[in-house]
Amino acid sequence: MVASMILLLFLSIPGQSLDSLRNIEDCQVICQQALQYYSENQDPQLIYELVENHWYRQEEVVPTLDMLEELLDDNAFIISEFGDIIPGEFEFLGELNLGSYQTTLVYLIKYQYGLYPCSFRFYKPKQYYLLNGMQFGSSAVEMMEKFYQVNITVN
For the chain, domain boundaries: 19-145
Q: What is the pTM of this model?
A: 0.78
CATH code of the domain occupying 19-145: 3.10.450.50
Give CA angle at 77 (84, 29), nearest 5°.
60
pLDDT of residue 11: 34
Report the C-alpha gap between 148 and 120 in whole angstroms: 18
Report the C-alpha gap between 105 and 58 in whole angstroms: 22
Q: Note down pLDDT in tens along the chain; length 155 residues.
A: 333 333 333 333 344 555 689 999 999 988 888 888 888 887 656 667 777 788 888 888 888 777 777 665 567 788 888 898 899 999 999 999 999 999 999 999 899 999 988 888 999 998 999 999 888 777 788 888 888 766 666 76
